[in-house]
Amino acid sequence: MKKKKKLMVLIFSFVIGTSILGLNEITYAADTTSPNFMTQYSSADKAKAEAYSQERYEIWTKNITRSQKKMINSYKKNSNKTNKLLVKFQGDIRVLQQIAEQPGADPKLVKQVNEIEEMNKLIKVEENKTPQTQTIYTSFNATDIGFASNSDIKDGFLNFDEQKINTIIKYLKMGNFPDFRVGNLLPSEPHSTVNAFFTQRRILIELEVPAGTYLAHLGNGQTIFPLDYGMKLTDQAGT
């Protein structure tokens, strides 16, 4: 009897684009003179990746307010409430804006919608355009891509339900991000197999980000994309 392959984390490779249409119109390329800049980092490059991320973060936040910097830093956490709201509405800011504009709208919701609009503007500045093609890693859990719960893709305690993998691929093959997508320059933490298992973010995406893409750095190796970006599947593998 053939032994089933154990699948702890699914790994996919994607190309990123604006609303899935690509970024061919972008010609701007930022300065690449930083000694820490690399188009792709390995786990051994952690110090360089974090140094480059800090450089870019300082350039980005040099002229913003303290409250704006506090808002930006809140996106370093998966528990960010505004990002969770975006996921609930699959990143459709237009629907949220319509709800917020209704008479008697929840003031907390109105505040979150205003934050989304402000955050999007803050990310989409010239300083945050990628100087060259850049590899970024990001991860999803089952509910991020439309499943009712994370247990929907499990087979027992540890493994994926292999019959659901084709469904996962179908969900991911092409689509817009449901939030301000946070990623990392490094392929290891926070995307290691152990960490992915405990956080349930077990679908790992390797993104090929074209030059000229808006990509902000959070200063610790993490990155963040604005809204209206999406990805297209180019390769897949399960490990």
Mean pLDDT by 10 residues, the chain (239 residues): 43 50 42 84 93 96 95 88 89 93 94 95 95 88 60 53 64 74 81 48 79 94 91 61
Task: Give pLDDT, residue 12.
Answer: 52
| Rounded distance between C-alpha atoms, residue 49 and residue 184, angstroms | 9
Closest CA to 227 of 100, 118, 139: 118
- What are the chain's domains? 10-64+126-238 (3.90.176.10)
Q: Residue 9 is which amino acid? A: V
Rounded CA separation 98/39 (Å): 40
Question: What pLDDT does 1 receive?
Answer: 37
Distance from C-alpha of 74 to C-alpha of 81, rounded to nearest angstrom: 9
pTM of full prediction above 0.75? yes
